[in-house]
Amino acid sequence: MDEAKRFEKENLAGIAFRDCNMAGAGFDNVNLGGAWFRNINLQGASFEDINLKNVRITNANIEGLTIYGYDIHALIQPLLERDGQK
């Protein structure tokens, strides 16, 4: 198998990925401020030390999402039921 492509200390502002398989990709010390994501599968992904200030998430399946040991789905389920969503 070919060695993985590696980018270090690159300015890749404005780069776009479409119809790509990036399973197992790693991002360390990366600025994704202002980036947008659509139709993304993050199942089994792991995030550490993330700044989510002013992040908007629309149409997301959050079953099994845990933050600081709290099951987020269980925490917001009453709000979803109140708003007629599941």
DSSP per-residue string spanning 49-65: S---TT----S---TT-
- At residue 60, the pLDDT reads 83
Provide mean pLDDT across the span 36-60: 90
Residues 74/83, Cβ–Cβ less than 8 Å: no
- Backbone angle region of 38, left / alpha / beta, with phi > 0 → left and psi within -120 to 50 → alpha: beta
Q: Band of the pLDDT at 2, cuts 50, 70, 90?
A: low
Residue 1: pLDDT band (50, 70, 90) is very low
Question: In the prediction, which pLDDT does 36 show?
Answer: 92
Q: Is the pTM of this model over 0.85?
A: no
Confidence band, pLDDT 50/70/90 cuts, at residue 27 = very high
